[in-house]
Amino acid sequence: MILKKTIAGFASALFLAAVTLAAGGQSAPMKTASQTSAASEQNWWKNAVIYEIYPRSFQDSNGDGVGDLNGITRRLDYLKELGVDAVWLTPIYPSPQVDFGYDISDYKNIDPQYGTLADFDRLIAEANKRHIRILMDMVMNHTSDQHKWFLQSRSSRTNPYRDWYVWHDGKGETNTSKGEPPNNWQSLFGHSAWQWDAKTRQYYYHKFYIQQPDLNWNNPKVHAAFEDIVRFWLARGVGGFRFDAITTLYEDPNLTDEGIVKDSSGNPIINAYGDPQLDNSKTDNLPGLHPVVQEMRATADAFNSNRFPGTRVLIGETYLPNIAELAKMYGPPKTPEFELPMDTQVGLINKLDVAAFRAKLTDVETRIGGHTPMLVFDNHDNARLDMRYGDGVHDTDIQRVISTILFASRGAALFYYGDEIGMKTTPPTRKEDVKDPIGITGWPREKGRDGERTPMQWDASANAGFSSAASTWLPVPPNYTTLNVQAAEADPNSLLAWYKSLIRLKKTTPALARGDNEMLDTANTKVLSWLRKTPGEPAVVVSVNFTAEPQTVSLTVPGSGSQAKTLLKTPGAPDPSSLQAIELGPYGVYVGEVQP
């Protein structure tokens, strides 16, 4: 259907051009509705609302206690009503599930517990009907140790796949001793990043779990293999990819030890696994990753043609030390990289600090070369918003604050399933209940990521409407009887209603859809305020109170009057008499359209 509309649009444009030429070229050029639609289709991601689904936990359709693709298809109308443009699925490929899908054994199929390729094709088709794109997770740093490439690689030192992975001799190895690992590099999941393989008598490198051997990106065959994988899924109609752990593709070829991070007294900092904390300087964000992303972008862009209308977007998992490094992830003009590298600079402030938010939001507005920001506060690897920002008393109001920053700032917005109803982090209380190996290794200092991956809470029925199974892969939090989608939909003042209203404003209000961000009242340490403005359209002011005490702010918008039309405010809050007297309750929010 999109293809037919696009072709019709081009035909219409050609017809109008011919008419203009016949009239002597005197008519001013103007865009037709079809041309505007085509441009919007190609730039859909610039103001996109993207929803992350952890498939195991979203909706179980067959009663086995694990979410699946048909369950996601069943809930597409909910996502459409919410205002979602795209869904990012964490990995659904065949996997031994050591890291719940991030250990991939086959990149061109679907894990049976989630369904089949036919189920996936149906999900794509049904999502397309609702103008929702499906984005895949692309894991290129490592595979499962059960992938056929690695099984071949570890079979002998002379196997053609040997140099598809990172192998190295140990220190002091002899015929009877494996010696020591090649250097001090550590797995992000605890202990040495080197695993001894007795059969071929070498160590292989794994940045993550032992069962996730790192690929060797110095091998051109690895590049070619992933270009082929990307094309495979693009041909099936996916709207793009989120590239997992992308900054860890390359390691220092000299295998230099990493530095040990020390505290202010000069003592090594010990992490949750009992290891000294390293600076990751030799295993993260090395220069070689940029050409790889450029290759993948070029592969995706080849599909952005009349046959495949609309941009296939590339999103990067880009945990980076500063805004300058984030800016590099967009790539140079002639060899672009990610359309949307994740801005974790804002999302992981992890405290309600007005100055920090103001500085980071100004950075992403002014220091990424005019590219589109992508804000994200929550995902499957971090405790949910309540644990990182909440105070246990005003959690819902605080989540209104965070969601307003997310959706009322310029650019694309990514959020995590359950955020819209205020799902809580619910970690296991006993080690024997932990499913995430991180928690098993690091208990009790590190309880793992189970707490942010619990099943979606749909209603007050058994298992929160997630599954008909006797038990689910992770237990449903006990608060599901009152905190669920069904209850939220019946409450006009619910967090879910707030999300829907914000997203609708983001899509329909010109200043919020495409306007610049400009900070206001910049000396204020308790309230964050900013202006969204675009030429020819009314500006919008946004104020969010970062404290539990009521605040009154006075805002001045150059060239405008002192009045504003309320677009959205915390339930029960008064309409301001003017921009000079905006009253905000504890963690209150106000969004208003500036009047001339």
Residues 195 and 83 in one domain: no
Residue tagged 């495949």 (tokens): 308
Q: What's the distance, CA 233 to chain centroid?
A: 19
Contacts of 333 (CB under 8 A, 6+ apart): none
Distance, C-alpha 375 to centroid of its chain: 8
Specify the DSSP class assigned to residue 533.
E
Is pLDDT above 80 for 423?
A: yes
* pLDDT score, position 307: 63
Q: Is 452 a catalytic residue?
A: no
**54: closest CA among 364, 329, 365, 423?**
423
Position 10 scores a pLDDT of 32
- Identify the pLDDT of residue 39: 60
| pLDDT confidence of residue 381 | 97
Instruction: Evaluate whether residue 505 is within a structural domain.
Output: no
Q: What span, in angstroms and rounded, lies between the C-alpha atoms of 240 and 489?
A: 31
What SS3 state is found at 141?
A: coil
506 found inside a domain: no
CATH number, domain of 521, equals 2.60.40.1180
> Are 269 and 305 found together in one domain?
no
Q: Quick check: is 503 in a domain?
A: no
Based on the fold, state whether residues 322 and 390 are members of the same structural domain.
yes
Cα 169 to Cα 29: distance, rounded to the nearest angstrom: 67
**pLDDT of 41:** 77
Domain assignment present for residue 60? The answer is yes
Domain coverage including residue 152 = 142-216+252-278
DSSP lists the bridge partners of residue 53 as 89
pTM of the model: 0.93
Per-residue pLDDT averaged across 569-584, rounded? 96
- What's the whole-number mean pLDDT along residues 241-245? 98
**pLDDT band at 1, cuts 50/70/90?**
very low
Q: Are residues 238 and 298 in the same domain?
A: yes
Q: What is the pLDDT of residue 22?
A: 34
What's 369's domain CATH number? 3.20.20.80
pLDDT value of residue 8: 36
Question: Does residue 97 sit within a domain?
Answer: yes
What does the pLDDT read at residue 174?
Answer: 81
pLDDT recorded at residue 401: 98
In a domain, 424, yes or no: yes
* Span 93-145, pLDDT tens digits: 999 999 999 999 999 999 999 999 999 999 999 999 999 999 999 999 999 99
What mean pLDDT do residues 414-439 have? 97
**What percent of the chain has a predicted confidence (pLDDT) above 90?**
89
**pLDDT tens for each residue of 11-51:** 333 333 333 333 333 333 444 444 445 566 789 999 999 99
Q: Give the Cα separation of 404 and 503 in Å (integer).
A: 9
Contacts of 444 (CB under 8 A, 6+ apart): 431
- Same domain, residue pair 442 and 589: no
CATH number at residue 206: 3.90.400.10
User: How many domains in the chain?
Assistant: 4
Within a domain: residue 437?
A: yes
**535 belongs to a structural domain:** yes
Assess contact for 2 and 37: CB atoms under 8 A. no
> What is the tens place of the pLDDT at every residue in 261-294?
999 999 999 999 999 999 999 999 999 999 999 9
- Same domain, yes or no, for 393 and 473? yes
Active-site residue 317, yes or no?
Answer: yes
From CA 98, how far away is CA 212, in angstroms rounded? Answer: 9
pLDDT above 70 as % of the chain: 92
pLDDT recorded at residue 42? 81
pLDDT at residue 301 is higher than 80: yes
Catalytic entry in 119, 317, 386, 420: 317
Please tell me the predicted confidence (pLDDT) of residue 21.
32
Nearest to 358 by CA among 502, 520, 590: 520
Same domain, 150 and 263: yes
One of 60, 85, 119, 244 is an active-site residue; which one?
A: 244
Which secondary-structure segment (H or E) carries 553?
strand 551-553
Give CA 93 to chain center in angstroms: 18
Same domain? For 270 and 137 the reply is no
Question: Greater confidence, 16 or 500?
Answer: 500
Q: Are 21 and 86 members of one domain?
A: no
pLDDT for res 11: 37
Within 10 angstroms of residue 468's Cβ, the number of other Cβ atoms is 15
Type and span of the H or E element at 88: strand 86-89
Residue at 523: amino acid letter: A
**Both 114 and 153 in a single domain?**
no
> Residue 37: its pLDDT value, please?
56
Number of alpha carbons in the 13 Å side-chain half-sphere of residue 344: 15
pLDDT given for residue 550 in this prediction: 98
- Rounded mean pLDDT, 429-449: 95
Mean pLDDT of 61-74: 98
pLDDT in tens, 534-550: 999 999 999 999 999 99
Q: What is the pLDDT of residue 427?
A: 97
Q: Are residues 366 and 327 in the same domain?
A: yes
Domain match, 51 and 106 both:
yes
Report pLDDT for 309.
65
